[in-house]
Structure 1
Amino acid sequence: MRIYMDTARQGQACPAAMQVECEFARLAFEDPYLCSLPFLQHGARVWTEQRQREFPELSCWNGSHRLHEQMALALGTQDADRVFVASQSARLVRTACRLMFRQCRRVLTTDLNWPAWQQIANEEAQRHHGRIHVVELKDPAIRGKASPQELNEVLQSKFLHHDCDGLFMPAVSSLGIRLAVAPLLRQLRSLRPVRFAVADGAQALGHIPVSDLIDSCDVFIAGCHKWLQAHLPLGVALTGNGLTSEQFASVAMNSDSSSDCHDPLLRFSQELRTERLQKYSETVNVLPLLTANSTLRAASKTLNTITNSLTVRQANRQNVADLLQDSPWCPLDSTSMDCGILLVEPR
C-alpha cells in the first residue's frame, strides 16, 4: 500500500471559492431569478447596484466569455477559442483521444497514466483500429533507478521501435512522478513526425510550470478542483491551435446525449460564450463555472510565481519526509519526483 501526501482528487477550497459557494446558496434561496441567462452570459453588471452589494463575490462574475479568457491567460495564451470547460474531465479526454486516433495509428503511453483515462484511450484505439504501446516506467521511476532524462531515453527508444506517431502522457502522475514531456516531444519531432500529442495536466496545473508543455502538445487537459483549489470539479482542455480547436468543438458539440463525448456543461458554456443558445437545453450545474472564475481571479498572482510556489511545496515535502524518519512510514525518494507530492509506503 502506498499513499501520497497531497491533493489526490480534490484540493482544499480557496477562500474565494468557498465564499462564492455560500453566496450562490443564499442567492438560490432568496432570489434564484438573479441566476438568469443574461447574468451567465454577461455577468453581474446586469444586476442592480444594490444586488451587487448584497452578493459581492458573485458580482465578480463577468460572463462565460470572460471566464474562458481568464482560463486562457492562466494557461499562457490569449486565444479563448482554444479553451473548453466541462463537468467531467473524462469527456474531454474522450474527445482528445478520439481526435488522436483519427490521425494516429500507434500511440505511446506509460503505466503512469491515470487508469480510467488509459481505459478511454484503449477504447478509442479499438474504435479506430489503432494500437497502444504501454511503456512500464512506474517501478524505475518510483525507486529512483532512472533520472527523468533516462526515462525519456527509454520512451524515445520505444516510440521509434514501435513506429509510433502519437503520444499520451501525464505531466505529473497520480503518484507524483514528473515526466519531462515537453523535452521528449521536442526530441521526437526532431527525429520523426508526431501527429498528435495529448498531455494529462490534472496534477500539473497550479502545481508546476506548464507553459513549455502547453506549447508542445495538441491537447492539454486539466481540472480546477485540485491544485487551483476551486473545489468543485471542472475539467479544462486547451487545444494547440485553431484547427485542433475546430475539430475538438465539432466532436464535442455535435455529439448527441447518448455519446461518450457529450457533456451538457461544455455545450452550455460554449453556447453562452458564442451567444448561440439552444431554446431547449439541458439543465446544468453552473456553480463550478462561478467557483472557477473566483479561483482564477485569486490565483492570478500565484500562477505568475508558480516556480516559487513549487519550491515551497518541495521544501514542505522534505519537511514531512524528515518527520517520518522514526515512523512506520518510509518516504520514497526518487529523482523523478520533482514536485510537491510525497509518496510513502509502510516500512
Structure 2
Amino acid sequence: MVAEQFRQILQSGHCPELEDPLLRFSQQIGGNSVSRYLETVNVTPLFTVNAAIREERTKRKHLREQLERQQRNLDTVEQCVDGTPWNLLDIDESLRSGIMLLQSQDPLHREADCLALGDRFRERGVAFSSYPQGVIRISTPKSLVSNHAANVMERAFQCVA
C-alpha cells in the first residue's frame, strides 16, 4: 500500500523532496521497466537493507525454534508432575510460553513458607520460584531438557509431594 502511494507520487512529479535517485531506481526495477537514461545511482544502501532484512528473518526463526523447545520442555515437566499432588494452573493456550505455574494440593505446602518450599526443591537439585499458597513458577530453559534433568525433576516432584 505504501509502495503504491510512493509510486503514484513519483509518477505525478508533485513532490520534489521525494526525488531520490535510489528510490526511483528501485521503483523502476520493481516495475520491470528501467529508464534508458537513468542517472548514476549508489546502490550500496540496498545491500545494507538486504542484510538487515535477512538478519531479522534469521532472528525470528531462532526465536520461534527457541519457543518450540521451551514448550516441549513444558510437556516434559508436565510428565514429571503426573501422578504427584502438583496441578498445572491453567492459562489460555494463546498465552503459553516457556513458563508454567503449578500448585500443590497438599495443605502443608499451601500453608508452608514459600521460601521453605523453594529450599526443598533446591536441595533436590531443582530451582523454581516459589510463592504463597503452594505455588511454584517454572521457567524452562531455551535448550531441550536432557533425560538426566527430567529424571532429577521427576524425583524432586515425587519427594516434595
TM-score bracket, normalised by the shorter chain, equals: 0.3 to 0.5
Task: Select the structure that is richer in helix.
Answer: 2
